[in-house]
Amino acid sequence: MLAAVRSAAVLGIDAYDVTVEVDAALGLPQWTIVGLAAGAVKESRERVHSAIVNAGFTLPPRRVTVNLAPADTPKSGSAFDLPIALALLMATGQLARSAADGLTVVGELGLDGSIRPIRGALPLARHAARTPGETLVLPPANITEASLVTTVRLAALPELGPLVRALRDQLLPAAETPRPPNRARVADSVDFADVAGQAGAKRALEVAAAGGHNVLLIGPPGAGKTMLARRLPTILPVLSETETLDVIAVHSVAGVLASDDPLPPPRPFRSPHHTVSAAGLLGGGSAPRPGEVSLAHHGVLFLDELLEFPRSLLDALRQPLEDGRVVIARARRSVTFPARFTLIAATNPCPCGQAGDPRGACRCTPAVVARYQSRLSGPLADRIDVHVAVGAVPLRSLDPAAPGDSSATMRGRVDAARGIQHKRYDAMRSGHGITCNAHAPGRWLQAETPVAPRARELLVAAAERLALSARGYHRVLKVARTIADLEGDDMVGVPAVAEALRYRPAECGAVTLAGRRGADGAGAI
Ligand SMILES: Nc1ncnc2c1ncn2[C@@H]1O[C@H](COP(=O)(O)OP(=O)(O)OP(=O)(O)O)[C@@H](O)[C@H]1O
Ligand SMILES: [Mg+2]
C-alpha cells in the first residue's frame, strides 16, 4: 500500500517541499530508499524500525520503498525520520492515510521513539508559514526557535507514540509557544569609553558603523587595534525584525543555536583565527553549512592579524564582499548563503610591527616589509573603504580621568545617520534590501547625491592623482556621503570629501604608516 507525508528540507537558509512516499508491498522483507538520500537519511531505516517497535506499533514483513521527492535534489540529515515513520504506519494500515493532511512533518527519531531536535527549524517554519492553514509538526526542542515565526501553527509531541495517537484521534494540540527571551540591546561588556585617546581611529569606526563600510586598522603591537575592533558592535544599530530572523536562520542551519535560547547576540561578531580552513571561513562540506562569513551576516567579520591569513583565503573574500553572499558549488546543486557583513581587519605593518615608526624602530628590511604587505591583494584593499593608522598611544593620554566618547554617544550619532539612509533607500524602492551607503550601487549614488562644486573638483582631482578605479571613485563618494549624513547635510561638501579621501590608501595594497597622523597618534593614511 502507498502513503505519502509532506516534509521539507533546508537549502541555503531557505526550505523547499519534500514529499515522503512509502510503499509497503508484499514480498521479501527489504528496505530501499531512493531520491538522492545521503548517509544520515539512509541510516534512518534503523532508527525508524526501532522507534516504531518501541513505540508499541508493529512492522509487518514487507518490501518497503521510500522515495523522497523531488528525486533530483540531494537530501541530507535526519529530519525525514519522523515523516518516514508516519508514512510507513499509514502504508501498513496503522494510521489513516489522511491523518497527515495539512501537516508538514520534520524530526529525528531516537531508537526509543523519542522525537529529537533537527537543524534549520527557523527556515522550515518560515517555509511552512507560506502555506495558509499549514501546521508544522516538529521536535519539542525546536519550538522556541520555530516560534520566532509567529504566523505558523506549530505542533510538537515528545514521542512517536503520543503523536500517532493524537493523529488517530484528530486532536493534534498546538504547541505552547514560549516567549523568546529578552536580549539586551547590545553586548555591553565593553565600551568605547575604555579606549584612551585614539580619537582619529574612533571617528573612523564611527563613520564605518554609520555607513556600513569596511575598515582596516594598521599599527604597531599594543596600540589598541584589537581593542577598538571588538567595540565596533557596540555602536552598530539594532537589527530589524527581518534581519534578526535572517541571522537566526543562518545560525540555525549551521546548527550552532542553543535550543532553549535560540537568539544569537544582537549583532553577530565573528572573529575566526587565521588558521581557519576555507570551508570554515566561506562555508562548505558535503551537505554545505554556512561558514564564518555567513555567521557574520548583518554583523561584523573581524580578521585580526589580517596578513597572517593565507592569501588565497583573503582573495576568496572578494565575492562575498561584492555580492553579499557566498555560492558553494556542488556537482548536483549549488547552495547560496547570505554573507553581508562589515569587514574589520587589523594588522601590523610589517613582521616586527614597527614599520613607519618615526623613531626608526623597525628592524625589517624593505624587501621583508614589501613581501609582508603584498599579501593584501590590491582588489581586497580596494574593497576596504576606511584605512586607519592606529599609532601607539602616548602614555600620558592613558588618563582614565579624561575618557573620550562612550559607545552610547557614538551610537546616537550612528543611529541618526542610519535613519537618514533608511529614508533614502526606502525612497529608492530598490527591493534589494539596501539599508546603508556602503551597499548602494555606486552609479546610483553618483547620480542622486548632490555634491558641492568645490567638493566635486577635489574629488575628481584626487581620483586622478590617486589613479582611482571607477569603483574606488564610487567608494570614496559613498564614504563622503556617510560623513555628510553624520553631519545631517544633504549636500556633500569639501570637508566630507577631504575626510573620505584621507581614509583611502594612496596606493591600494601598499600598507604604510607614512601618512598624516592625528594629534593623538592616530590618523588616516
Ligand atoms: N588606547 C588605549 N586605551 C586603553 N588601553 C589600551 C589602549 N591601547 C592599548 N591598550 C591596552 O593594551 C592592550 C593591548 O591592546 P590590543 O591588543 O588592542 O593591541 P593591538 O594593537 O591589537 O596589538 P597587536 O598588534 O599586538 O595585536 C589592551 O588590552 C589594553 O589593555
Ligand atoms: Mg591585536
Nearest to 103 by CA among 27, 186, 36, 164: 164
C-beta separation of 6 from 103 below 8 A: yes
Write down the pLDDT at residue 431: 53
Distance CA 289, CA 356 (A): 42
Summarize pLDDT for 351-401 with one digit per residue, the tens: 888 887 777 778 888 888 888 877 776 778 878 989 998 887 776 666 666
> Over 80: is that where the pLDDT of 248 sits?
yes
Return the C-alpha torsion angle 297, 299, 304, 310, nearest 10.
Answer: 20
Distance CA 315, CA 309 (A): 10
Write down the pLDDT at residue 171: 83
Write down the pLDDT at residue 398: 63
User: What is the rounded average pLDDT of the residues 9-33?
Assistant: 89
Summarize pLDDT for 259-273 with one digit per residue, the tens: 666 666 678 899 999
Write down the pLDDT at residue 288: 83
* DSSP tally for the chain: helices H, then strands E: 20, 19
C-beta separation of 340 from 325 below 8 A: yes
3-state secondary structure (DSSP) of residue 103: strand
Write down the pLDDT at residue 281: 94
Is the CB of 227 within 6 Å of ligand 1? yes
Write down the pLDDT at residue 355: 80
- Distances, alpha carbon 376 to alpha carbons 363, 496, 499, in Å: 21, 27, 23
Instruction: Pick the most confident of 12-16, 124-128, 309-313, 319-323.
Output: 124-128
Summarize pLDDT for 137-147 with one digit per residue, the tens: 999 988 988 88
Is the CB of 83 within 6 Å of ligand 1? no
Write down the pLDDT at residue 523: 40
Residue of the CA atom closest to atom 6 of ligand 1: 224
- C-alpha cell recorded at residue 48: 525508524
- C-alpha cell recorded at residue 367: 624587501
Write down the pLDDT at residue 161: 94
70 cis-preceded (ω within 30 degrees of 0): yes
- C-alpha cell recorded at residue 365: 628590511
pTM comes to: 0.83
Residue of the CA atom closest to atom 9 of ligand 1: 224
C-beta separation of 215 from 343 below 8 A: yes
Distance CA 339, CA 350 (A): 30
Distance CA 84, CA 393 (A): 64
Write down the pLDDT at residue 183: 54
Confidence band of 302 (pLDDT split at 50, 70, 90): very high
Whole-number Å distance, alpha carbon 394 to ligand 1 midpoint, is: 12
Residue of the CA atom closest to atom 30 of ligand 1: 224
User: What is the rounded average pLDDT of the residues 217-237?
Assistant: 90
> Over 50: is that where the pLDDT of 517 sits?
no
Write down the pLDDT at residue 182: 55
User: What is the rounded average pLDDT of the residues 38-46?
Assistant: 78
C-beta separation of 257 from 210 below 8 A: no
Summarize pLDDT for 410-436 with one digit per residue, the tens: 999 999 999 999 888 887 765 566 888
User: What is the rounded average pLDDT of the residues 277-289?
Assistant: 87
607614512: which residue's cell?
Answer: 514
Alpha carbon 53 to chain centroid distance? 42
Write down the pLDDT at residue 124: 94
Counting ligands in written order, which one lies closest to the CA of residue 347?
Answer: 1
Write down the pLDDT at residue 27: 85
Write down the pLDDT at residue 260: 62
> Over 90: is that where the pLDDT of 151 sits?
no
Distance CA 264, CA 282 (A): 19
Write down the pLDDT at residue 506: 56
> Over 80: is that where the pLDDT of 122 sits?
yes
Whole-number Å distance, alpha carbon 267 to ligand 2 midpoint, is: 21
> Over 60: is that where the pLDDT of 463 sits?
yes
Given ligand 1 and candidates 227, 362, 372, which is best to mutate, with the most ligand atoms within 8 Å of its CB? Answer: 227
Whole-number Å distance, alpha carbon 196 to ligand 1 midpoint, is: 10
> Over 60: is that where the pLDDT of 325 sits?
yes
Residue of the CA atom closest to atom 8 of ligand 1: 224
Write down the pLDDT at residue 303: 94
Alpha carbon 275 to chain centroid distance? 20
Write down the pLDDT at residue 181: 56
- Distances, alpha carbon 508 to alpha carbons 377, 382, 384, 467, 468, in Å: 8, 6, 10, 10, 9
Sign of the C-alpha dihedral, residues 495, 496, 499, 501?
A: negative
Confidence band of 36 (pLDDT split at 50, 70, 90): confident
> Over 80: is that where the pLDDT of 213 sits?
yes
List, in order of start, the domains of the chain with CATH numbers. 2-168 (3.30.230.10), 192-524 (3.40.50.300)
Nearest to 48 by CA among 125, 121, 109: 109
Pairing of strands 115-116, 108-109: antiparallel
User: What is the rounded average pLDDT of the residues 505-517?
Assistant: 43
Alpha carbon 461 to chain centroid distance? 38
Burial class (CB in 10 A: 0-12, 13-18, 19+), 423: exposed
Residue 329: phi and psi, rounded to 5, are: -80, 130
Write down the pLDDT at residue 470: 83
Counting ligands in written order, which one lies closest to the CA of residue 230?
Answer: 1
User: What is the CA angle 382-383-387, rounded to 5?
Assistant: 75
Pairing of strands 63-69, 386-390: unpaired
Is the CB of 198 within 6 Å of ligand 1? yes
- The residue type found at 159 is E
When mean pLDDT is compared across 160-174, 197-211, 258-272, 307-321, the lowest value belongs to 258-272
The CB density around residue 181, as the number of other CB atoms within 10 Å, is: 10
Is the CB of 197 within 6 Å of ligand 1? yes
- The residue type found at 21 is E
- The residue type found at 132 is P
Distance CA 308, CA 272 (A): 12
C-beta separation of 155 from 102 below 8 A: no
- CB-based contacts of 154, cutoff 8 Å, min separation 6: 125, 135, 136, 137, 138, 143, 146, 147, 174, 175, 177
Is the CB of 221 within 6 Å of ligand 1? yes
> Over 90: is that where the pLDDT of 453 sits?
yes
User: What is the rounded average pLDDT of the residues 465-492?
Assistant: 90
Whole-number Å distance, alpha carbon 304 to ligand 2 midpoint, is: 6
C-beta separation of 351 from 364 below 8 A: yes
- C-alpha cell recorded at residue 417: 545617520
> Over 80: is that where the pLDDT of 116 sits?
yes
Pairing of strands 135-137, 153-155: parallel
User: What is the rounded average pLDDT of the residues 478-483?
Assistant: 96
Whole-number Å distance, alpha carbon 393 to ligand 1 midpoint, is: 9
Write down the pLDDT at residue 13: 86
The chain-wide mean pLDDT, for the chain, equals 85
Q: Where are the alpha helices (DSSP H) in 169-240?
A: 199-211, 225-230
Whole-number Å distance, alpha carbon 117 to ligand 2 midpoint, is: 39
User: What is the rounded average pLDDT of the residues 101-110?
Assistant: 94
Write down the pLDDT at residue 77: 75
Quote the percentage of the chain above a pLDDT of 90.
44
> Over 80: is that where the pLDDT of 487 sits?
yes
Which residue did the predictor score with more confidence, 244 or 488? 488
C-beta separation of 285 from 77 below 8 A: no
Whole-number Å distance, alpha carbon 282 to ligand 2 midpoint, is: 23
Is the CB of 225 within 6 Å of ligand 1? yes
Summarize pLDDT for 71-99 with one digit per residue, the tens: 887 777 788 999 999 999 999 999 998 98
Nearest to 22 by CA among 107, 78, 97: 97
- CB-based contacts of 464, cutoff 8 Å, min separation 6: none
Which residue did the predictor score with more confidence, 490 or 394? 490
- The residue type found at 378 is G
Confidence band of 186 (pLDDT split at 50, 70, 90): very low
Whole-number Å distance, alpha carbon 303 to ligand 2 midpoint, is: 10
